[in-house]
Structure 1
Amino acid sequence: MRRLGSTRRRGRTSRAVAAGVACGAALAALTVGPAEARPLVHGAHHWELKDTGTPAARFRGLSAVDRRTAWLAGTGGTVLRTSDGGASWRNVSPPGAADLEIRDVEAFDARRAVVLAIGEGEASRVYRTDDGGATWTESFRNTDPKSFYDCLAFFDRRHGLAMSDPVDGRFRILSTSDGGRSWRVLPAAGMPPALDGEAGFAASGQCLVTSGPADVWLATGGGAQARVLHSADRGLTWTATGTPLPAGDPARGVFALAFRDRTHGLAVGGDYRQDRPSPRAAAGTSDAGRTWRPAATAPPAYRSGVAWLPHSRTAALAVGPTGTDLTTDAGRTWRTIDAGSYDTVTCTPDLSCWAAGEQGRVARLES
């Protein structure tokens, strides 16, 4: 979308699940902090800012591997990587990418990652590294001036998709089966027609998300209805469902999705303009996105990122320029726990959560 711009594995042990429940309970004790600087919170957990040394960059792309390893992608073609929990960051930006807007990153580990640069025509590109960013290979460059790629998501280390705003009336999907080394455009026959003005938001790298080996969801805005499209066959065929999130304007829609399994998901968004209210900025589903219920108490403003807490069935975080919100009832109610500005958020199986945004801001949830 000509404006702005994945889910992680579930727990495998009862100890991890218990730890996730405890983490959610501790977060529920947090209260909002001051509107500037570091959050002032009461409780066991809080966002702790990590100095990236890049105050001019805005990081809308974030992929955390675990508590120690995370990748960032942002303005000016910037890609950073940490392997010590954010104590230090290494600039591993692709050569010659300074004029690009890199809005999404999907990391498989500390060495292997794929990033997506967005924009019209050849500005949309995909790069892959296998050596921690020491070298990059450009694996895709868009040559269709009608395409504008927004988001990237992987099912596993080999299979992934990228989505473009509609081309000839339908969203365009790229597919890879070799970890992002090569890409092909999927047939458009299985994609329902786009609404007038409908597109995706390259706001947080979360407008395209996956769960399990074949399910993927795509978030839209800009049309008469804010919709979520779902595919159960890795992007070959799709169904579209309307949501109760704000719509009917190019600045409104679903900005981010998160699924903790193939049936339970969350959607957040609203109107990204600072002077506009965003009622009904969150919704949830328990049937893989066939229906969406509005939050009884939604976040108070537009939110661009969302993530389930590790190994929790009910707790999740949503972030945006005006704060972080927490739900402990699977998205029915939300309350603000921090007033810092973040664009995207993610959590990892080893009980860590990260957030990133403007002015080089990156934080990790700490106790």
Structure 2
Amino acid sequence: MTARNVLRPLTVVATASALAVPAPLLSAETAAASPQHEHGNHLQWKDLPTGSTARLRGLAPVNHDVAWVSGTLGTVLRTDDGGRTWDDVSPGGDTGALQFRDIEAFDAHRAVILSIGEGGDSRIYRTSDGGHSWHLGFTNDDPAAFYDCMSFWDDRHGLAMSDPVDGKFRVLSTRNGGRSWSVVDPSGMPPALDGEFAFAASGTCLVTAGTKDAWIATGGGAQSRVLRTHDHGLTWKAATTTIPSDPAAGIFSLAVRGTDDLVAVGGTLDDPTIGTDFSARSWDGGRRFWPGGDLGGYRSGSSWLTHSRNSVVAVGPTGSDVSLDGGRHWRTFDTSSLDSVECTKDGACWASGEAGRVAVLRGSAAHH
């Protein structure tokens, strides 16, 4: 099994919302004062309809009001009123069968989308007018490549990554906001393990931070690994993690805070309910990873909560979990299905998934 045939699309119905987690809800001081399970029980997802039937693995919230999502059936949706209404801004044309597994947005007008698939099905498009028009920036012409994720440092500089080609992960670079892309010289990339690849599960198998740091999450081989670069993707080094890896298992998502703190989550596709050791954490920029404790089952997305020094959320098809201590311990607070989660600088925490679902995290004291 490879990234080419895992995570097959599902299509059903839809929901969405836009409520924030307030700063006091998951502060480090509050976490220290009370048992973790009490705070886990205070969190809940609030949904509103999107009207879509697509599975929305691509997620790019900008703030409380603006968010973009993308997924199967060539779908791209955008809201600028906190999820109360959604505009279908899908590219159309010959993209109706594409799976837009990743989307990155800079504001309400500018966004970049990545589709996955064999050969020319791996594409990157860009819009600068809120999705009214899309411009093709990259089409894969190598039958051995299969692009999984992308990430940006700012509105001009970013990377996209493919499963190994000729024994190494392939990386693309853009310096103009996704208008054009070029292949990075592979000489700085370490060899891939036998069977190693990335999972196109939530657009977070590649993450960026600071002005030049990036990380790639892997699975499929004998070990799960995190590849790191500190020079815009020119050179990479690998670190192994304790997350189990096999042809259907590995790391599915990375969450980064600053340039030092990382949490990795994953699992196995063959049985998303098994396992209790599918997280790992690093405090040195990904040079070393330590076991993350009791995260049970498969989780495909993760994000640090904005207004907390130590809190992380992870989501997957069997539920959502929160850690109040940087990934050391986890508590399940929801058992519904989600694929992706991302928190914005102003404190909103958005999630998306199957059946057209979009949701925002709220707590007992949350407000619009």
* Global fold match (TM > 0.5): yes
| Residue matched to 1:267 | 264
Amino acid at match of 1:4: L
Of 153, 156, 171, 2:154 maps to 156
Change (3 A) 1:226 1:21: farther
Q: Per the alignment, in what secondary structure is the counterpart of residue 329 of structure 2?
A: coil
Amino acid at match of 2:176: D
Amino acid at match of 2:291: P
| Residue matched to 1:65 | 62
Change (3 A) 1:19 1:355: closer
Distance 1:66 1:82 in 2: 11
Structure 1 unaligned spans of 5+: 6-17, 32-41
Of 211, 215, 218, 1:217 maps to 215
Q: How does 1:234-245 map to 2 (within 5 A)?
A: 234-245=232-243
Kindly indicate whether the alpha-carbon contact (under 8 Å) linking 1:309 and 1:347 is maintained by their aligned counterparts in 2.
Answer: yes
| Residue matched to 1:35 | none
Amino acid at match of 1:178: N
Q: CA deviation at 1:311?
A: 3.5
Q: How does 1:154-193 map to 2 (within 5 A)?
A: 154-193=152-191
Q: Per the alignment, in what secondary structure is the counterpart of residue 229 of structure 1?
A: strand
Q: Per-residue CA shift, 1:174-202, capped at 9, x if unaligned?
A: 00000000100000000000000000000
% identical equivalent positions = 54
Q: Per the alignment, in what secondary structure is the counterpart of residue 117 of structure 2?
A: strand
Kindly indicate whether the alpha-carbon contact (under 8 Å) linking 1:58 and 1:358 is maintained by their aligned counterparts in 2.
Answer: yes
| Residue matched to 1:74 | 71
Q: How does 1:23-62 map to 2 (within 5 A)?
A: 23-24=26-27, 25=30, 29-30=38-39, 43=42, 45-54=43-52, 56-62=53-59
| Residue matched to 1:11 | none
| Residue matched to 2:347 | 351
Cα RMSD over matched residues? Answer: 1.6
Q: Per-residue CA shift, 1:24-54, capped at 9, x if unaligned?
A: 44996355xxxxxxxxxx53x4210121111
| Residue matched to 2:12 | none
| Residue matched to 1:84 | 81
Q: Per-residue CA shift, 1:322-362, capped at 9, x if unaligned?
A: 10000000110001011111000000011100010011111
Distance 1:103 1:344 in 2: 10
Q: CA deviation at 1:120?
A: 1.2
Kindly indicate whether the alpha-carbon contact (under 8 Å) linking 2:272 and 2:297 is maintained by their aligned counterparts in 1.
Answer: no
Tell me, yes or no, if structure 1 residue 310 matches structure 2 residue 292: no
Q: CA deviation at 1:134?
A: 0.3
Q: Per-residue CA shift, 1:113-138, capped at 9, x if unaligned?
A: 00000011100000000000000001
Of 287, 292, 296, 1:290 maps to 287
Change (3 A) 1:358 1:19: closer
Q: CA deviation at 1:23?
A: 3.7
How many residues align? The count is: 341
Q: CA deviation at 1:275?
A: 6.0
Q: Per-residue CA shift, 1:78-128, capped at 9, x if unaligned?
A: 000011111111100012211101000000000000000001110000000
| Residue matched to 2:322 | 326
| Residue matched to 1:94 | 91
Distance 2:326 2:237 in 1: 24
Kindly indicate whether the alpha-carbon contact (under 8 Å) linking 2:338 and 2:352 is maintained by their aligned counterparts in 1.
Answer: yes
Amino acid at match of 2:115: A
| Residue matched to 1:341 | 337
Runs of 4+ in 1 over 6 A off after TM superposition: none
Q: CA deviation at 1:272?
A: 1.9
Change (3 A) 1:176 1:275: closer
Q: Per the alignment, in what secondary structure is the counterpart of residue 189 of structure 1?
A: helix
Distance 1:311 1:181 in 2: 34
Distance 1:237 1:20 in 2: 38
Amino acid at match of 1:88: T
Please say which of residues 95-104 and 198-207 is displaced more in the overlay.
Answer: 95-104
Amino acid at match of 2:286: G
TM-score normalised by structure 1 residue count: 0.90
Q: Per the alignment, in what secondary structure is the counterpart of residue 59 of structure 1?
A: coil
| Residue matched to 1:125 | 123
Q: CA deviation at 1:365?
A: 1.5
Tell me, yes or no, if structure 1 residue 20 matches structure 2 residue 23: yes
Amino acid at match of 1:167: V
Change (3 A) 1:176 1:91: same
| Residue matched to 1:15 | none
Kindly indicate whether the alpha-carbon contact (under 8 Å) linking 2:190 and 2:238 is maintained by their aligned counterparts in 1.
Answer: yes
Distance 2:292 2:240 in 1: 15
Kindly indicate whether the alpha-carbon contact (under 8 Å) linking 1:227 and 1:241 is maintained by their aligned counterparts in 2.
Answer: yes
Distance 1:231 1:274 in 2: 32
Distance 1:295 1:133 in 2: 39
Kindly indicate whether the alpha-carbon contact (under 8 Å) linking 2:69 and 2:76 is maintained by their aligned counterparts in 1.
Answer: yes
| Residue matched to 1:257 | 254
Change (3 A) 1:70 1:28: farther
